[in-house]
Structure 1
Amino acid sequence: MQAGLAGVPVFKLYGEGSDWPTVDLLHCETISSRSQLYGWEIERHRHSDLWQLLYVRRGPAELYVEGQHTRLEQPAIQLVPALSVHGFRFHADIEGYVLTLAAPLVSWLQQELGVCAPVLQQPHCFPVARGGHYLDSLFAAIAEEYANPAPGRDVLLRSLVCALLVWLSRQLPQGEGPAERPERGSQHLQRFGALLEKHYREHWAVSRYAHQLGVSTAYLNGVCRRQTGHTALQLLHQRLLLEAKRLLVYTTLNVNQIADQLGFSEPAYFIRFFKRLTGQTPRSLRQP
């Protein structure tokens, strides 16, 4: 956990540290699996680079998202974009799922979804008046695939999430666009994240990112620290490390090939980088 704006904590997953806990670009769990650990109440917090979809199949539940309080008695899906302050209170009989999407996956989804992409931009609560059986099947399929890795897993999970977001986008009133623009610091963080996703393999210096954004290096680092609790360089390293783990788990590339694919000048430099951030060597991650 890192201190955030106005004392609102910033988590990866609620109650956990700053490390993303999986090599996947999404995380799926039942609502009860985490909330029961905290007395069925998730206190207000933010995620700097994660989007969440909360599917309440059976409530009641109370949602607090960006100052708006919603009490759910009927099935609904709450979308929580990155940086949105949110908290939840659940009944012990709650049923449903929490789907968390990492920024690289969201970036890919925005490109793939086209006209449906705006659904990801603002918090929104979607009543599930119709389509409950479809959504039950969709979330169950995501949860099953997430829990039981099999060949083609990454492709199938992306396809299932795409189907979910297309369904959500069709529930928005026609012509409804994004609400108010985010504040300036959040805009710069979003633009930095988009640039990082394009160029992290090129090992740009933080000063180059700042120049591309038209801000100073000190300003960019300040925005990153305030919004995420990390420096710009730490965010760059986190992205490289996540991709390294994915290549180690999901491909047969050797360490030298992975180092080259990630832009490291020498494999030894990559190995030192990996060990410094994880405490283990790349090869040890592959060992059962």
Structure 2
Amino acid sequence: MAIRNIDVAKDNLTFGKLNDVSYRSFSHMASFYGRFMEPHRHEGYFQLHYIDFGYINLNLDDSVNLTPKVPLLILTPPSAPHSFFTTNETTGHVLTVRESLITPIIEKLYHSNPNIILNKAVFLSFAENSEIKKNIDRFFRIIQSSIENVDTDQDLVLSHLVQSLFSYILCKREFKDSLTVAPMVNGDLTIFQNFIKLIEANYHKQLSVPDYARLLSITDSKLKDMCRRFSSLPPKRMIFERVLLEAKRRLVYSDRSINQIAADLGFTDPSYFARFFVRCVGQTPSQWRKRSKNMQHIYQDIHHITTV
């Protein structure tokens, strides 16, 4: 079973001619898709969940059975799978926004390491009486109002509103403190950003550091130096981290065999994939999958108990 892609435009949940923005209350989305949301992703869209009350049990990217404190923001990029269970009283808001509206903001605000937001799901809990909660509540009241009062400028209004909301969140100290962000440094940023994009496009091909250097038209040593300055990780480690992230995702969220997953990620020898995984994680792929599936079963049992 492949990880399901949910296209909010095809489900008629978007607003505007370009289908750039989907907004619904969390209760509405739960009634549409269910309180037990199966593993899925949104290709081409960032999604922002804002849970302001209740309980959520969350499987996010390669982490399972999270129970973060509410109020809560959950930001998932297009590639990140997620699933969750919520109780009937859980409330909040859900924004699903075309990535072309959000990526430029991330690349500007996190230009030394945009990969930390572009490819990895993150979440942030904060205090009930905090400034960030009060301001996010205001943003969503304005977004709701703009949707309820449809006019010819709706596309423009909505796109600017959601961009402002994402900018506000991504700029907040509380959000940045939840990440490991490399310091901003000037020079060679465009090349480094292109390296990150190349990893995303080619991580499953088992390209070497010299291969990436040739694609970027630079020397191996220059690529290593840029990665040291901008990410504090060597390029080989950056490539491995992306391969490892995808391996974890597929072990958790798909039913493909370990040999098939190894082949999908460019490993011609399944035993080499197993050694790679053990070296990075400390567990075999089958052990990782078993642990994750056990958590999924617990998760489904909770859903069954609460719905009978």
Return the TM-score normalized by structure 2: 0.50
Decide which of 48, 51, 56 is 2:51's aligned counterpart. 56
Q: Does 1:44 align with 2:58?
A: no
Give the 5 Å matches for 1:195-214. Answer: none
Matched, 1:80 2:76: yes
Q: Deviations over 1:229-279 (max 9, x none)?
A: xxxxxxxxxxxxxxxxxxxxxxxxxxxxxxxxxxxxxxxxxxxxxxxxxxx
Given candidates 27, 34, 50, the residue that maps to 1:32 is 27
Distance 2:163 2:68 in 1: 25
Code of the residue aligned with 1:104 in structure 2: it is: S
Report the Cα offset of residue 71 of structure 1: 1.0
The question of whether the paired residues in 2 share the 8 Å contact of 1:113 and 1:162 is answered with no
1:126 counterpart residue number? 124
Q: Take 1:59 and 1:143, find their aligned partners in 2: how far apart are those partners?
A: 21
* In structure 2, C-alpha distance between the alignment counterparts of 1:87 and 1:159, rounded to whole Å: 28
**Which residue identity lines up with residue 57 of structure 1 in the other structure?**
D
Structure showing greater radius of gyration is 2
SS in 1 for 2:165: helix
1:146 aligned partner, one-letter code: I
Q: Pick closer, same or farther for the CA change 1:20–1:153 going to 2, 3 Å.
A: closer
- SS of the residue 2:177 aligns to: coil
Unaligned regions of 5+ residues in structure 1, if any?
Answer: 1-5, 190-211, 214-288
How far, CA to CA, are the matches of 2:166 and 2:22 in structure 1? 16
Determine what percentage of the aligned residue pairs are the same residue.
19
1:9 and 1:183 map into 2 onto residues whose CA distance is 24
**One-letter amino acid matched to 2:51:** V
The one-letter code sitting in structure 2 at the alignment partner of 1:153 is Q
Aligned length: 184
The structural deviation recorded for 1:183 is: 10
* 8 Å contact from structure 1 (residues 81, 120) kept in 2: yes
Please list, as runs of the form range in 1=range in 2, the aligned pairs for 1:1-288 lying within 5 A after superposition.
Answer: 7-13=2-8, 17=10, 21-22=14-15, 23=17, 24-68=19-63, 69-110=65-106, 118=114, 120-121=117-118, 122-129=120-127, 130=130, 131-169=132-170, 170=172, 171-173=175-177, 176-177=180-181, 186-187=200-201
CA 120–154 in structure 1, closer or farther in 2 if over 3 Å, else same = farther
CA distance 1:116–1:155, shift in 2 (3 Å): farther
Contact 1:58/1:73, CA 8 A, preserved across alignment: no
Aligned partner of residue 142 in structure 2, secondary structure: helix
Structure of higher RCO (CA pairs closer than 8 Å, 6+ residues apart) = 2
Q: CA deviation at 1:90?
A: 1.0
Structure 1 residues 147, 128: CA separation in 2 closer, same or farther (over 3 Å shift)?
A: farther
Query: Per the alignment, in what secondary structure is the counterpart of residue 135 of structure 1?
Result: helix
Give distance in 2, aligned partners of 1:112 and 1:154.
23
Structure 2 counterpart SS, 1:172: helix
TM-superposed deviation, 1:132: 1.3
Normalising to structure 1: TM-score of the pair? 0.53
Q: CA deviation at 1:20?
A: 7.7
SS at match of 2:75: strand
**Counterpart-to-counterpart distance in 1, 2:139 and 2:152:** 19
Matches of 1:84 and 1:90, distance apart in 2 = 19
Distance 1:35 1:7, change over 3 A: same
CA contact (8 A) 1:12 1:18 kept: yes
Secondary structure in 1 aligned to 2:5? Answer: coil
Cα distance in 2 between the residues matched to 1:116 and 1:95: 35
- Displacement of 1:140 in angstroms is 1.6
In the alignment, the residues of structure 2 paired with residue 20 and residue 39 of structure 1 have an alpha-carbon distance, to the nearest angstrom, of 15
Q: 1:141 to 1:88 in 2, by over 3 A?
A: same
1:149/1:18 Cα in 2 relative to 1: closer, same or farther (>3 Å)? closer
